[in-house]
Chain A
Amino acid sequence: MSSIGLIISFFIIVAGLLWLLIQSIRGQEADRRVIFLFMAIAVSVPLLFNISFSEKATLIVEDVYRKIENLPAGSKILLSYDYGPSMSPEVEPMSNAFLRHALVKGHKVYIMCLWATGQSLAATAVDSVIKREFPEKVYGIDYVNLGYKAGGTGVLNVILTDFRKMYLADVVGTNLDSMPMFQGIKSLKDMDLLISIGGGYPGVKEWILFASAPGNIPLAGGCAAVSAPLLYPYYPRQMIGLLGGIKGAAEYESELKKNHPQRFANMPVPGIKMMGPQTMAHLVVLAFIVIGNISYFISKRKGQ
């Protein structure tokens, strides 16, 4: 169904843009209602025929992907859910993508959160992603959920030197020492990669200043699009990479699909799905800017 839809919609939009181009070459301005019509098509068609584009990862996302991909199997990755339900629709796709990638590479995943609301979101991720898609993974050996601890940067301060000072047990109360994956784990410094997801306070910035920098541990970030510009200055020196908004998640999902085609054949890709109409709309806006300038230059030359 979606392939036919793809052809039809592409045909409509390309033909329309061509017609607009000819109009502009003749120096006629496109009527604003035509532009509105194009926007309506550009957004609703990909929704109806769920068209999506393979997103090629930008450097800031690819660095994170390469880091997790090249870590030796069994490396220890800490994933921190630092966001609430209102930001969840924008950052959940990326936190699930991180989980899938770490588990498919056989890494050990340590889940925790600095936001109280993160705890229930982490729990749903464990059920919907790990338990359903990776039944072979064993709790306490391959992954653990440490849950929420109040104190924000104070928590980071403590676990930077000793996990057990802050977390004596995991979220369900089992003692850390009874879990094989905690043998020899003394502090954050024993982690191979830290990932913080969330754009508020405490968030990625606090993880950089209070954990990654003092402990010299590599850190990757994930945040809502609106807070990405505030985190860009930390890349690349204090942060190996950053996923910004739905676009970052879509790029990561397409990398996962491209490099692990069989394992992730029918993996849900909310990021890529959402980016379908976004990309189409952006391309139409870009086309209008180009056409607008053409008709301007032609009318100026005609004017002279």
Chain B
Amino acid sequence: MEIFGTWVAAFLTLGIISFLYRDNPWYKVCESIFVGISAGYWFVTLFFDNILGLFWAGITREDPNYMLLVGAVLGVMMLLRLVPSIGWISRWPLSFVVGATAGFYLINYFSSNVMLQVSSTLLPLLSPGFGQPLFSSSLYDVVGNIIVAAGTFTGLVYFFFSKEHKGAFGHAAKIGIWTIMITFGASFGYTVMSRMSLLIGRMEFIFGNWLGMIR
């Protein structure tokens, strides 16, 4: 039984990899299987987790949370889209979702991204220790702190919308985009290794579990 499973998995794995050569029926079969199976998987998971686990359990437990009915009513309104005459009612749950998302994200992103990131950039440039002699911290830290503070500052300058990137402002923006380019290049190079280990894992499956060629 297990052997059959490995062969099915190997067939699908090679089918997906064949797409690298070019689009072919083998890939199309794998693609359609994946779409069908995954759509079914998600509906089953959503059904057991959200409908039974969250909604039904929430209503039928001792102190039932009737507010969940609000969600159900909005959900039904969403389904009314299928009825052309009153299809416009589906805009109500939609505007509820957009309003909730806007409000929730505004505060969340503001406090976690802006406040936290700004406060952690407020580093002393020269000597980190309190009252230590001026240049006690090694060059490594001093340069590091200066780069972090200056890079963040000029990065923000680059993102300015309402001011022409000219003169001193333009130079600061140029340094800003350089910092951002270093960030993109560095994080691209850094993640290459983790992407490789995914492929190595699949190759180990093909050569090891399936073909048994790896000792």
**A binding-site residues for B, Cβ under 8 Å:** 33, 36, 39, 43-44, 47-48, 50, 225-226, 229, 233, 236-237, 245-247, 274, 277-278, 281-282, 285
Contact = CB atoms under 8 A, between A and B. Distances in A.
B128 to A, nearest CB: 9
Q: Which 7 A-B pairs have the closest CB atoms?
A: A36-B20, A281-B196, A44-B203, A277-B200, A278-B196, A43-B203, A43-B199
Contact of B207 (A36, A44, A246, A247): A44
Interface SS of A by simple majority: helix
Contacts of A281: 196, 199
28 contacts: A33-B21, A36-B20, A36-B21, A39-B199, A43-B199, A43-B200, A47-B200, A47-B203, A47-B207, A50-B215, A225-B193, A225-B194, A229-B190, A233-B144, A236-B140, A237-B138, A237-B141, A245-B193, A274-B197, A277-B196, A277-B203, A278-B193, A278-B196, A278-B197, A278-B200, A281-B199, A282-B192, A282-B196
A282 B193 CA distance: 8
A110 to B, nearest CB: 31
User: Which of B140, B192, B203: most chain A Cβ within 10 A?
Assistant: B203
Given A47-B200, A48-B213, A274-B200, A33 B20 contact: yes
Interface of B: 20-21, 138, 140-141, 144, 190, 192-194, 196-197, 199-200, 203-204, 207, 213-215
A47 B196 contact: no
A282 to B, nearest CB: 7
Given A33-B20, A36-B20, A48 B207 contact: yes
A237 B214 CA distance: 43
A237 B192 CA distance: 29
Contacts of A229: 190
A236 B197 CA distance: 29
A96 to B, nearest CB: 19
Contacts, number: 47
Contacts of A36: 20-21
Contacts of B199: 39, 43, 281
B187 to A, nearest CB: 9
B192 A285 contact: yes
A249 to B, nearest CB: 13
A274 B199 CA distance: 12
Contacts of B190: 229
A52 B204 CA distance: 16
Given A43-B199, A43-B203, A44-B203, 9 more contacts: A33-B21, A36-B21, A47-B200, A50-B214, A226-B194, A277-B203, A278-B196, A278-B200, A285-B192
Nearest to A44: B203
Contacts of B192: 282, 285
A6 to B, nearest CB: 15
Contacts of A48: 207, 213-214
Nearest to B215: A50
B214 A47 contact: yes
A19 B193 CA distance: 26
Nearest to A32: B20
Contacts of A47: 200, 203-204, 207, 214
Contacts of A43: 196, 199-200, 203
A231 to B, nearest CB: 14
